Amino acid sequence: MKLSKLHKEGYRIVFWSFIMVLIINMLVDIYVPYKWLQYLILFSSVILFLLIVYFFRYPSRKAEVLPTEVLAPVDGRVVVIEEVFEPEFFKDKRLQISIFMSPFNVHSTRYPVDGKIIYSRYYKGKHIVAYHPKSSELNERTTVVIDNPLIGPVMYRQIAGIIARRIVNYAKVGMWVKKGEDAGFIKFGSRVDVFLPLNTDVYVVIGDRTRGGETVIANVLIDK
């Protein structure tokens, strides 16, 4: 089994978590007289530290895909596949595919397609549960649009959930990006929506599990 490296967004948190575990257990060793309680605190703090490290893992991913195929931007479970009206950028109908992440999923975001970033915006918002239909409009979120030379513009939206308190977005307008590359991180949350042209073959169904940067979720058809 190949080990995952640590995502850069976790460096500082993991470092300070390690320092805190050391300090807590040094103080416990000095001031707590009961060995059983010392061992319990040591065990609990180490487990918590390992969970933090696990949350910030960043596995290496590589997929052989066609130029018109779209990769899943995150690990998680497909919860929405539907035709919707997208009012923020396209202002027309699009095919929406939404992937919900549990706290145990890899939480890095990856670019779903190649192309040039033509739109990137952050919105403050609420923190209702990410699987709620209104979370895409009401929650803290970022919206990014990538203009692909073959299939046109594709949008993805990072959405914070009830636990998430920070969205990291690396996409800047004018950047050229490759599908599967690191696009950001949602710290302790929760959902990503992808908006595709209507002339798209969807390769997943609701309930399917995806792996960001590896699972092909759709193929956009090109009119000849």
Cα separations in angstroms, 7 against 32, 55, 60, 211, 220: 36, 9, 11, 16, 30
98 is catalytic: no
**Collapsed DSSP state (helix, strand, coil) of residue 4:** coil
Angle, helices 35-55/11-31, rounded to nearest 10 degrees: 180
**DSSP H helices in 32-128:** 35-55
Burial grade of 185 (CB within 10 A; 0-12, 13-18, 19 or more): buried
Contact (Cβ atoms closer than 8 angstroms) between residue 61 and residue 216: no
Locate tokens 């692909």: which residue?
148
Q: What are phi and psi of 113, to 5 degrees?
A: -140, 165
Q: Which of 217, 188, 207 is nearest to 112 (CA)?
A: 217
The terminus-to-terminus CA distance of the chain in angstroms comes to 44
**Collapsed DSSP state (helix, strand, coil) of residue 46:** helix
Bridge partners (DSSP) listed for residue 176:
116
Kindly list the catalytic residues.
190
